[in-house]
Amino acid sequence: MNNSTLNLLNKHFSLNPQTANILIVGLGITGFSIARYLHRHGFQFSVIDSRENPPNAEELSQLSPTIQLTAGAFQATNFTTATHLIVSPGISLQQPLIAQALQRGAILVSDVDIFACATTAPIVAITGANGKSTVTTMVGEMGKAAGKITAVGGNLGTPMLDLLADEVELYVLELSSFQLERSHVLNAAAATVLNVTADHLDRHTDMADYAAQKQKVFRGDGVMILNADDAYVSAMQTSERKNYFFSIQQFIGFHIAPRDGVEWLVNEETDFMPCADLPLEGRHNQANALAALALGTVVGLEKEAMCTALRSFVGLAHRMQKVAVKNGVTWVNDSKATNIGACIAALQGYNDKVILIAGGDGKGADMRELRVAVAQKTKAVILMGKDAPLLEQALLGIVPLYLAKYIDDAVLCAANVAKTGDTVLLSPACASLDQYKNYAERGHKFAAAVMALD
């Protein structure tokens, strides 16, 4: 850690190795990356985790046997001597002992804050309810195609503190609302909120609070990339900053326009490429590509490099991924659609009606928001998981509904309902944690069940 980083941490957070007594709350992927970074740079810290057998406990002891780890239910004594708290994104700041420690004067710091103090390379920061992993990966591929040493991570893949390296020329970070909620000094060269739709309302007070946390990605003085088609996002525009818009509904900023009868991705100055050259299906992926082009343009990536990256981008696992065609039925895995907005976006990408598999943990969202899209774009819905009853209540009378317990049962049910030429879409509109470790396990089990069909 150089003197500049130390000076910034001390200036903004009174954080220095001589006086700080840091408590890391949570030993998941993010918490352990923070522990590695602090240990490498000589900070004193301890770690707590509410799980009896936290992940990375053995790795922490290998890092240093003197690091104190407390596992199990939080106790007040864990927090009394801490001067600084670094709370993992998966843990609510409203947890009573955390809230009390902050009220007593403990200083909240995040890995985003430490990262922002530790690098002078340009940062592209991407958040939104849906599409952020796709856009993050797109911009990362654009940077590499342009010949820049590019590091990609954050909420997606590698924790951001593990990305830090002197040779990196461009950082591309996916950031969740929980990461942004506890960040203070991020100053990205280019940043975007892709959209704001109902998600994580079990942790955020309401949609206004959720949007306010997302808006924190725009701290600093960089260029703001805004979705002109989203009322929450377009309202974030400010005359004090440079703004670029992207839109799939309007001729504004980075948008879609006809060229000799063919739709192109364009902005006011540049025609980039025909929409048909994108390997990804769906209008929402055209919006993702426009956002990526805007971000790449701001940080000086060449047009041809960006278009080359988009032409070869085949998408992410568990995101509108075709699994198989069996008996004339197409099966699509969109397990990463863990909220209502993502499910609606997936449905709107189809011209013909599909058979939808949905359900899981709805995270407090109002399932009635699915009604219009389900009526327009589905011929039947198969419901599963903890909040299947809520979905059933919200969608009753719109299309035929079927109930299944697990994903395997849902696949069998869909196979019985589907006819030749149909598409079965797993796009749950819910988190997976009621039944599965994560959306990836849910997606893998869906694919396995499809492949096991006769």
CATH architecture of 20-109: 3-Layer(aba) Sandwich (3.40)
* Residue 132 annotated in active site: yes
Specify the residue for token string 């088609």: 229
For residues 110 and 86, the answer to whether their CB atoms sit within 8 Å is yes
* Residue 416 annotated in active site: no
Read off the pLDDT of each residue in 70-75 and give the average, rounded to a whole number: 93
Q: Which of 169, 150, 166, 167 is nearest to 158 (CA)?
A: 150
Residue 148: Cβ within 10 Å count: 18
- State the pLDDT at residue 319: 84
- State the pLDDT at residue 199: 53
Going across the sheet that includes 84-87, the strands are 69-71, 45-49, 22-25, 84-87, 107-109
* Residue 200 annotated in active site: yes
- What is the pTM (predicted TM-score) of this model? 0.83
- State the pLDDT at residue 320: 85
For residues 152 and 124, the answer to whether their CB atoms sit within 8 Å is no
Residue 77 pLDDT > 80: yes
Helices 303-311, 132-145: crossing angle, 10 deg rounding: 120
Find the range with the poorest average confidence among 215-224, 226-235, 337-346: 337-346
**For residue range 165-207, what is the model confidence (pLDDT) as tens digits?**
999 999 999 999 899 999 999 999 999 999 987 554 555 457 7
- State the pLDDT at residue 202: 52
- For the chain, what percentages of helix, strand and coil (3-state, to nearest 5) are there? 35, 20, 40
Q: Which of 151, 209, 224 is nearest to 177 (CA)?
A: 209
Read off the pLDDT of each residue in 360-381 and give the average, rounded to a whole number: 94
Catalytic position from the list 200, 216, 255, 377: 200
CATH code for the structural domain at 321-451 = 3.90.190.20
| Averaged pLDDT of the chain | 94
Catalytic position from the list 56, 78, 130, 132: 132
> In this structure, which amino acid lies at residue 7?
N
Catalytic position from the list 56, 155, 288, 339: 155
The residues that bridge with 325 in the sheet, in sequence order, are 330
| Tokens (6 digits) for 140 | 């990362």
**For residue range 299-336, what is the model confidence (pLDDT) as tens digits?**
999 999 999 999 999 888 888 888 999 999 999 999 98
For residues 309 and 142, the answer to whether their CB atoms sit within 8 Å is yes
- State the pLDDT at residue 198: 56
For residues 45 and 24, the answer to whether their CB atoms sit within 8 Å is yes
More confident site: 269 or 297: 297
Query: What fold is seen in the domain 113-311?
Result: UDP-N-acetylmuramoyl-L-alanine:D-glutamate ligase (3.40.1190)
- State the pLDDT at residue 322: 84
Phi, psi of 388 (to 5 degrees): -55, -40
- State the pLDDT at residue 3: 85
| pLDDT classification of 289: cutoffs 50, 70, 90 | very high
- List the domain boundaries for the chain: 20-109, 113-311, 321-451
